[in-house]
Structure 1
Amino acid sequence: MAEMLKQQKLQYLLASSIVANDLDAKAFYDSNASTSHIIYAHKNYADVPNDQYEVTSADIRDEYNKEKNSFKVNDETRRAHFIAVNIAPSQADINQGRVLVDTTISRLSATPAVDAVNGDSNFGVDRNSAAASSITNPQLREFVTTAAPGDVKMLSFINDEFTIVKLIGSKNAVDSINVDVIAFQGDAASRDSLLDALNSGLAFEEALKRPGVAGGQADIWQTLASAPDNEVKDRLLSAGSNYFIADSMGTDARIIRVNTKRAPVNIYDFATVTYKVYPSDETIAKLNSDLENFMAGVTSADSLTVTRALSAGYTLQPAMVTANSSMLGNVPYTRNAVKWVMDAREGQISPILEDGQNDKLIVVALNDIIKPGYLPADDEDIRLALAERARNNKKAAGLIAEYAGKANDVAGYAALMNSSVDSTDVTFGQMFIPGIGVTESELLGQVPVSKEGAVVGPVKGTNGVYVYQVYGVDNESRPYSYEENAARYSQQLGAQAVLGNVIGILMNNNPVENNTLKFYTE
């Protein structure tokens, strides 16, 4: 409680100190007050062959130095690769399960209801009564509406689970009614007095105001198809238009009136029986043995390659791991593998591990240990991203040189680019340009200050080069309001934006000893 109160106080102090002044609010209003309507043509970098633009190591290094702060890491980060093998039933396990299911179908057919599987923990049994209209599974609905009582069928095999269905019987009955319900708490005399008043014309809304009434609902539909046959159900089905006491216990009672009964329909009594196939001990042993044999030839992290894994039928996946990682890559329940990575030596290969649900076998190779500072430029993912950025810069320069001054209007440039003329709206404060995307920040900054009617470009963008023309500008008709724009400023740039990152901000300037891994127990 003390820690929570401290956090609340800190958040209140931050929220109260990071507010928009008059200049902030007015600047936010101005940046969102006008919308430029443009026509544009563009040439995507992806449409230009890569082999026309060579990227060198120097190009990649230059891009890395420009964007180095984007690759900053505050915690020790470890780059690993891993194989995760599903512990799943083999075809032999499934075939053996099918034999058991076929036997069970025969037994269900020869015995009443679901007596053949009652008490057998290998099977899940769910018995239902429902009208056809309320059965959402089309295969199940078709079976119960066409089968004879006692018929049994294997309905499906999905995710290693067999589902059997048996039609136990059917009847024609009312499946739902519309009722008004009042919950009453009090002595019997007060309850009976309320009942008499309701049946003498007291409005439902007025009844809810009476002493002892704990609540109520009018005009609600109650399904009876799956309700057990008992005295309450019989009274509901035989009720007239008056209120009556459906049930009572001590000082609690339910007072009900039946408004409408639906016409009788066929109600089907059926049961679904499920059988889950699990991997046998022999299957698990073989999965372990196969993985052990494969890993016997892997002597270091560098020798565990994508090609080598694929040749053995495995998939090698990358993972960046810190002490705060909740899982290895995207595999849940793998904190034990995270702990192994954080304790391992560079180049080390793990033994075969299991996830916390015992449904995956995992081996991990630790490739690199990256100390707090910056991710290295030779990281595979970073290198590929930087190479694409450097190549796109060269494509942009080449395309601009090719098109500049070659046309007088947007349509002419569209023809040169083998593109089409499109239109969109641009407001400086928006997060993305409709029809163009979320990453064209340079274009987003240029359009609002471009002269109306002028053909601008070709200009460099993140994903291509653009030529555009502003053909109209709409100014926001809503008058300036400090309160409104200060609130919007807070959401995007002020207190609310900061509070979402407050823990990272505080940790950035303070040495923190991360003991997360000490709380993991196998």
Structure 2
Amino acid sequence: MATLEKIRSKAGLVIVVIGVGMAAFLLGDLMNSGGSMFRSSKMEIAEINGTTVSLPEYQAYLTELEDYYKLNSRSSAMDENTSYQIREQAWNQMVQDVIMNEKYEDLGIHVTSDEIFDMATGKNVHPQIRQMFTNPQTGMFDKQQVINFLRQKDADPSAQFFWMFLEKQIKNERLMKKYSDLISKGMYVTTAQAKAEAEAKKAVVDFDFIVKRYATIPDSTITVSDSEIKDYYNSNIENYKQDATREVEYVSFEVKPSDEDKEATLEWIKNAKAEFSNPETDAVQYVKMNSETEHVERNWKIEQLSSKLQDFVSGAQVGEVYGPYQEGETYKLTRLVDVKQIPDSVKARHILLKDPTVADSLFNLVKGGANFAEIARANSEDPGSAINGGDLGWFNEGTMVKPFNDACFNGKKGDIVKVQSQFGTHIINIQDKGKPVTKYNIATLDRKVAYSSKTNQQVYAQAAKFASQNKTYEKFNESIQSENLIKRYGRNIRKTDRNVSNMDGSREMIRWAFEADIHDMSDIFEFGDEYVIGFLTGIKEEGYQTLASVKSSIERQLRNKKKADMIIADLKSKKQGNDLNALASATNTEVQSASDITFASYQVPGAGVEPALVAVATTTKEGEVSTPVAGNNGVFVVKVTTVTTEETNVEAAKSQLAQTSSYKAYQAYQVIRENASIDDNRIKFY
């Protein structure tokens, strides 16, 4: 269906995400149904606020997203990174559906079919639909295109799926907006609030200050009891929540090419030279068929080549071959295919069109003398150049796609030509050409040195021997030391992590770590070009950190609090009116200065990030010495030297606060999710 092709191109190659945290599917009857053959605990992938989610239910989300991606990208395959991102999006959408559907149901929030119709063809067309159904000729939304698409979509399964997917997204966005609007209505900003905000921001101060740092008091002089630590821990227990994590130690056996592998690669490239050098061999085609690196069809100036190839082409005849030579871990042969005198740059303009029939008509018009720039502005589907009458300016060889490049550099000044590329049909006017220079066309055959199956088997045998001889954690450590191996660490591994440390594709090791017991040894994992054997060395379950694990941190906080009390008492006793210099002398500190500080300042030069210092500086009267205030690293005393009052705008402050409140309303989902009970068991399956 032509219309589907057009809107697909406008949708881009990534999964459509409408709004911040709003796009989601409705779980509907599937999640709310009663008993199911898939409710077996072995098939449970999650429990969300008491709702059990089975693997097939999650897979339904995942399959729909994957199908949409494949339809939109015109691809039947996905790389590992894309697959991961889609799995994460499917999970987040499913969690949002379960959590928010409860809220919508309780509050009676619904989206009617009339609302959906209005977002598609009415007065309040959704931006995503508006974008997809914009008439390229007028730049305006075309309601008739939507109507035609809806009438025809039932005849095309892909179009039907595309529309249902989009409809679910905009419906869920509308649900979330209604929920956020309810919250926003309860966050009205009063004039008094706005005045207070404006007053807080109007003062810009310069001030002097002293700081008595906590480090000036030895830790040994401060006693913090176990009961104080325990009381603080119990009172602040929510600060010590932790995710389930694992610690592993492992050794890696990397598979590298042997000397025998290197020699075999060199022998291959030597044997290929005779055929590659044969005048009857199409060098470019030979490279495309046999080289590991894709051939780049381009003419090169001599300075664009490596020093080796510069020496070669400057004295070679067309057809000569240089090599074998080595670059990095690759052996190469390079053949000089052609030497040309062509311009280094060309000036051109073009008209890009997706419809070949329209392209033919416009090509005939400009060939007949019609104004090229006016036709480009009115019709070109390259918006970047259309506004300039299709003008692309000067560009070097290799900048444009090959068909476009060849037409420009092989044509004559003044030519108007028509070529096809992956972007559509280009009508090109070659406006000017630079001075011809000598360029070289080369074809390079290469073969990277890679390890053989024999080498791979030898390294695996080493790993297997190590595993068989070191089945306990103690022997593992002893052998690492005696064999001079490098022990590696995976720390704070979470269920949702993709890799251990920097090992690509090591998700399998994470799954093992969450199933193993302390000091269990893993199987031999194969990750890329290495074999890995690990031991589980640490387990932290989801819940709260133990008192023992945070004791030192709490002790430090309480010790600093006691130091602050001592310093404040000392500073108060030695304060001499409004003389900050005298106080500095009495307390063996230095007077420092800061300028242009406002209530919104993030840090103070010479002090660092100290919100308490900023607060006392912006609220103390000019000429007065403040009372001591405890900060992050010490106790501060301030004397404001200058206060500059900026003009306040209460209405602007009110508007800004309203915007902040509105944003906080949209953040409501994050708070709801943080407070939800979510048992994530994806690690059993992915």
TM over 0.5: yes
Deviations 1:315-342 (A, max 9, x none): 33432535x5555567554443443344
**Percent of counterpart pairs with the same letter?**
17
Aligned-partner Cα distance in 1 for 2:396–2:589: 63
* Alignment match, 2:237: 68
Task: Output the TM-score relative to the length of structure 1.
Answer: 0.72
Q: Does 1:2 align with 2:30?
A: no
Indicate if the aligned counterparts of 1:109 and 1:151 stay in contact, CA closer than 8 A. Answer: no
* Alignment match, 1:259: 431
Aligned-partner Cα distance in 1 for 2:596–2:333: 57
Aligned residue for 1:151, secondary structure, equals: strand
What are the residue-to-residue correspondences of 1:480-499 with 2, within 5 Å?
480-481=650-651, 485-488=654-657, 490-491=659-660, 494-499=661-666
Name the aligned partner's letter for residue 434 of structure 2: R
Q: Does 1:284 align with 2:460?
A: yes
Q: Does 1:428 align with 2:599?
A: yes
Q: Which moved more, 1:451-460 or 1:40-49?
A: 40-49
Aligned-partner Cα distance in 2 for 1:419–1:460: 17
* Alignment match, 1:239: 412
Indicate if the aligned counterparts of 1:45 and 1:464 stay in contact, CA closer than 8 A. Answer: yes
Deviations 1:246-277 (A, max 9, x none): 3489xx96432222222233434343735154
Q: Report the CA distance between 1:214 and its aligned residue.
A: 5.6
Q: Report the CA distance between 1:450 and its aligned residue.
A: 1.9
Task: Output the TM-score relative to the length of structure 2.
Answer: 0.57
Indicate if the aligned counterparts of 2:323 and 2:333 stay in contact, CA closer than 8 A. Answer: yes
For residues 145 and 68 of structure 1, do their structure 2 counterparts lie closer, same or farther at Cα, with a shift above 3 Å needed?
Answer: same
Aligned residue for 2:351, secondary structure, equals: strand
Aligned residue for 1:481, secondary structure, equals: helix
For residues 308 and 38 of structure 1, do their structure 2 counterparts lie closer, same or farther at Cα, with a shift above 3 Å needed?
Answer: farther
* Alignment match, 1:460: 630
Q: Report the CA distance between 1:295 and its aligned residue.
A: 4.6
Aligned-partner Cα distance in 2 for 1:391–1:309: 45
Aligned residue for 2:547, secondary structure, equals: coil
Indicate if the aligned counterparts of 1:235 and 1:246 stay in contact, CA closer than 8 A. Answer: no
* Alignment match, 1:83: 249
Q: Does 1:99 align with 2:269?
A: no
Q: Report the CA distance between 1:486 and its aligned residue.
A: 3.8
For residues 164 and 499 of structure 1, do their structure 2 counterparts lie closer, same or farther at Cα, with a shift above 3 Å needed?
Answer: farther
Q: Does 1:186 align with 2:358?
A: yes
For residues 479 and 366 of structure 1, do their structure 2 counterparts lie closer, same or farther at Cα, with a shift above 3 Å needed?
Answer: same
* Alignment match, 1:208: 376
Aligned-partner Cα distance in 2 for 1:486–1:406: 43
Deviations 1:367-422 (A, max 9, x none): 445353x221222xx34543543454466566667777389436984997676734
Aligned-partner Cα distance in 2 for 1:61–1:468: 35
Q: Report the CA distance between 1:218 and its aligned residue.
A: 0.8
Deviations 1:306-363 (A, max 9, x none): x9899853033432535x5555567554443443344445x35242363775756252
Aligned-partner Cα distance in 2 for 1:464–1:507: 34
Indicate if the aligned counterparts of 1:38 and 1:423 stay in contact, CA closer than 8 A. Answer: yes
Name the aligned partner's letter for residue 145 of structure 1: Q
What are the residue-to-residue correspondences of 1:335-414 with 2, within 5 Å?
335-345=507-517, 347=518, 349-352=520-523, 354=525, 359=530, 361-365=532-536, 367-370=538-541, 372=543, 374-379=544-549, 382-390=550-558, 392-393=560-561, 396=564, 405=574, 408-409=579-580, 413=584
Aligned-partner Cα distance in 2 for 1:42–1:133: 65
Aligned residue for 2:298, secondary structure, equals: strand
* Alignment match, 2:310: 145
Name the aligned partner's letter for residue 636 of structure 2: Y
Q: Report the CA distance between 1:108 and its aligned residue.
A: 6.8
Aligned-partner Cα distance in 1 for 2:302–2:558: 60
Name the aligned partner's letter for residue 430 of structure 2: V
Count, aligned residues: 485
Aligned-partner Cα distance in 1 for 2:234–2:540: 21
Aligned residue for 2:649, secondary structure, equals: coil
Residue among 434, 449, 454 paired with 2:619: 449
Aligned-partner Cα distance in 2 for 1:398–1:130: 77
Q: Does 1:21 align with 2:189?
A: yes
Aligned residue for 1:313, secondary structure, equals: coil
Aligned residue for 2:548, secondary structure, equals: coil
* Alignment match, 1:34: 203
For residues 519 and 238 of structure 1, do their structure 2 counterparts lie closer, same or farther at Cα, with a shift above 3 Å needed?
Answer: closer
Indicate if the aligned counterparts of 2:616 and 2:638 stay in contact, CA closer than 8 A. Answer: no
* Alignment match, 1:218: 391
In structure 1, the gaps of 5 or more residues are: none
Indicate if the aligned counterparts of 1:176 and 1:225 stay in contact, CA closer than 8 A. Answer: no
Q: Report the CA distance between 1:461 and its aligned residue.
A: 1.9
Aligned-partner Cα distance in 2 for 1:147–1:32: 70
Name the aligned partner's letter for residue 488 of structure 2: T
Name the aligned partner's letter for residue 365 of structure 2: S
Name the aligned partner's letter for residue 189 of structure 2: N
Name the aligned partner's letter for residue 344 of structure 2: D
Aligned-partner Cα distance in 1 for 2:643–2:427: 65
Indicate if the aligned counterparts of 1:38 and 1:424 stay in contact, CA closer than 8 A. Answer: yes
Aligned-partner Cα distance in 2 for 1:398–1:132: 75
* Alignment match, 1:516: 682
What are the residue-to-residue correspondences of 1:301-340 with 2, within 5 Å?
313-319=486-492, 321-322=494-495, 324-328=496-500, 333-340=505-512
In structure 2, the gaps of 5 or more residues are: 1-24, 28-168, 278-282
Indicate if the aligned counterparts of 1:36 and 1:448 stay in contact, CA closer than 8 A. Answer: yes
For residues 403 and 126 of structure 1, do their structure 2 counterparts lie closer, same or farther at Cα, with a shift above 3 Å needed?
Answer: farther
CA root-mean-square deviation: 4.7
* Alignment match, 2:368: 196
* Alignment match, 1:502: 669
Q: Report the CA distance between 1:71 and its aligned residue.
A: 0.9
Name the aligned partner's letter for residue 351 of structure 2: I
Aligned-partner Cα distance in 2 for 1:284–1:235: 55
Pick the structure with more helix per residue: 2
Deviations 1:158-214 (A, max 9, x none): xxx54757463654421321101124643867643332234xxx3x4422366x766
Deviations 1:473-501 (A, max 9, x none): 3333252215x54444543xx34235346
Name the aligned partner's letter for residue 224 of structure 1: E
* Alignment match, 2:643: 473
Aligned-partner Cα distance in 1 for 2:514–2:416: 69
